[in-house]
Amino acid sequence: MNTQRQVSVHRKTSETDIQLTLNLDGAGQSNIETGIGFFDHMLTALTKHGLFNLDIMVKGDLHIDFHHTVEDVGITLGQAFQKAIGEKKGICRFGQASVPLDEALSEVVIDISGRPYLAWNVSFPTEKIGKMDTELFEEFFRGFVMSAHLNLHAILHAGRNSHHIAEATFKAAARALRMACEFDPRALHAIPSTKGVL
């Protein structure tokens, strides 16, 4: 069982330079600077409600658009998660959360399965929240899921306000991740799979 579930990752490309530190067993503390205000707000919510500690410093080509930065943060966070979760001994593996925010209701279901798959059933009534394109939320989660090697289903049950929809979805993802990452006291030394490996 990996009892030190904290890792740092540095990912640098011609488009972004990302320094990231993740502690899966934190207290919801964050220091996040991506250069995209609303994205920082969402990552802060993910950290707070997942009870992770997360530091992210990003230099991205924001003069082009936000796509590379958002996607690459997802990829880098996924890489950190995959390393931090380790061999997965003793974890609950599955997590599910439904989170309301005023009229919006989002549900996220997660399986830390080793088999990456994103099912994204979240739509937004507007193309932007502030300066951020709402289509980029799917790109973030796809990058995260593929690098973290997990299965994530995001489902919007209700919502008319794009800000509320995004925030409810990130909070639901946080709660589901927290549940899936937690240790099962009845199976602390077991891989949660009949195959014996994840």
pLDDT tens-place string over residues 57-94: 999 999 999 999 999 999 999 999 999 999 999 999 99
Please state, rounded to an integer, the average pLDDT across all residues of the chain.
Answer: 96
Q: Is residue 96 part of a domain?
A: yes
Cα 46 to Cα 67, 77, 176, 184, distances in angstroms: 19, 12, 10, 22
Please provide the distance, in angstroms rounded to a whole number, between the alpha carbons at the two ends of the chain. 14
Q: Is residue 186 part of a domain?
A: no
Give the model's confidence band at 194: pLDDT under 50 very low, under 70 low, under 90 confident, else very high.
confident
Range of the domain at 97: 6-181
DSSP 66-88: SHHHHHHHHHHHHHHHHHHHTT-
Q: Is residue 78 part of a domain?
A: yes
- pLDDT score of 3: 62
- Counting the structural domains of the chain, the total is 1
Give the ranges where the chain is alpha helix by DSSP (H): 37-50, 67-85, 136-148, 162-181
CATH number at residue 37: 3.30.230.40
- CA gap 66, 63 in Å, rounded: 8
Give the model's confidence band at 1: pLDDT under 50 very low, under 70 low, under 90 confident, else very high.
very low
pLDDT of 159 higher than 60: yes
- pLDDT score of 188: 83
- pLDDT score of 62: 97
Q: Is residue 61 part of a domain?
A: yes
Give the model's confidence band at 121: pLDDT under 50 very low, under 70 low, under 90 confident, else very high.
very high
The packing angle between helices 67-85 and 136-148, to 10°, is: 30
Q: Is residue 197 part of a domain?
A: no
- Who contacts 63 (Cβ-Cβ below 8 Å, separation ≥6)? none
Sign of CA dihedral 50, 23, 177, 128: positive
Q: Is residue 195 part of a domain?
A: no
Q: Is residue 1 part of a domain?
A: no
The strand pairing partners of 128, in sequence order, are: 133
Cα 55 to Cα 10, 73, 94, 194, distances in angstroms: 12, 11, 25, 35
Q: Is residue 116 part of a domain?
A: yes
Spatial contact of 5 and 80, defined as CB atoms under 8 Å apart: no
CA angle 151, 154, 192 (to 5 degrees): 30
- pLDDT score of 193: 87
